[in-house]
Amino acid sequence: MRAVTIVDKSLVVEADYPDPVPGFQQVLVRVKAAGLNGADLLQVRGAYPAPPGSPHDIPGLEFAGEVVGLGDGAARFEVGDRVMGIVGGGGQAELLTCNERQLMPVPPSLDIVEAGGFAEAFTTAHDALVTQAGLRPGERLLVHGAAGGVGTAAVQIGRALGASVVATSRHEQFDERLEHLGAEVVTRPGEHFGFGPFDVVLELIGGSNINEDVKALALNGRICVIGVGGGIKAELNLLALMAARGRVMASTLRSRPLEEKAATARAVERELFPFVDRGQMAVPIAESFPVEEVEQAYAHFKAGGKFGKVIITF
């Protein structure tokens, strides 16, 4: 099979990488589309190795494709089914194996390229907003870095749950598109204070924002950190956090055990698929690249200034 591989911190498309074989309760998937994520950039640089059991030399956390084989005990899907999911690595290859409980069916309303960017973005956003931060109808939500894959998903989830959504983006040209997705207000970073206070802040930028996030909290407000592109360290005003009776939490999906990953997939199916089926949630695609142009895809992702997901197609 063809696979994107990491060789000496560079990307190489290997034409004859060995095909994987599905094990117990695993499904063999022919990948059609794979979304790019920040973790992929870190893995290429050697800063974020794949967890045990995942290919160390093939990046890729999310994918969509077609079931082409079943291991012993696998019964949730049939050959020919369209599926999507999150893995610890290996998503950027023509074939991969995955425990069937980590997979989700692709809703009929999503084409396969959109599905390639759905799983990581919407699962991450849903887990952070609902499971971790406990966002409730009527609350006020601030989404930092809202133009990216997880950000656009978070805006849509917030709207669907009945929250009032304020989004920040450095790029004014994306304001109208974020409003279309459900943001009541779109503003620039650092200019959001007049639209608060906020019950939940979804922090996709990182350390450089934390102190201002605390200042913007409503009483009993929650900050959930799921991105650190703006720094891994922050100076925190504990008195301000105490005054708001606030909480700061953080989360990742990649290193979780199977049971927890399966639980996040079932939650997305149960709580978000009805909105997808009604056309109320979409996957904005910034650009898609064939696997032969993987270096261009990574460069486009790294450059920033894009709206939605960057997808590699097979």
Q: What mean pLDDT comes out for the span 66-88?
A: 97
What pLDDT, on the 0 to 100 scale, is given for residue 121?
95
Compute φ and ψ for 5, nearest 5 degrees: -120, 155
CATH 3.90.1150.10 is held by the domain 3-118+284-313: no
- Which residue intervals of the chain bear CATH 3.40.50.720? 121-250
Alpha helix positions (H), 74-189: 112-116, 119-126, 149-160, 175-181
Cis peptide before 52 (omega within 30 of 0): no
- pTM of the predicted model as reported, rounded to 2 decimal places: 0.94
What are the residues whose beta carbons fall under 8 Å from the beta carbon of 245, sequence distance 6 or more? 219, 220
The rounded distance, in Å, linking the Cα atoms of 140 and 132 is 16
Residues 93-101: what's their mean pLDDT?
97
User: What CATH superfamily classification does 121-250 receive?
Assistant: NAD(P)-binding Rossmann-like Domain (3.40.50.720)
Mean pLDDT across 110-114: 97
Check pLDDT > 90 for residue 253.
Answer: no
Q: Where in the chain is the domain with CATH 3.90.180.10?
A: 3-118+284-313
Ramachandran class of 228: left when φ > 0, alpha when ψ lies in -120 to 50, beta otherwise = alpha
What does the pLDDT read at residue 203? 95
pLDDT band at 133 (very low <50, low <70, confident <90, very high): very high
Q: What pLDDT band is residue 231 in, cutting at 50, 70 and 90?
A: confident
Report CA 291 to chain centroid distance, whole Å. 20
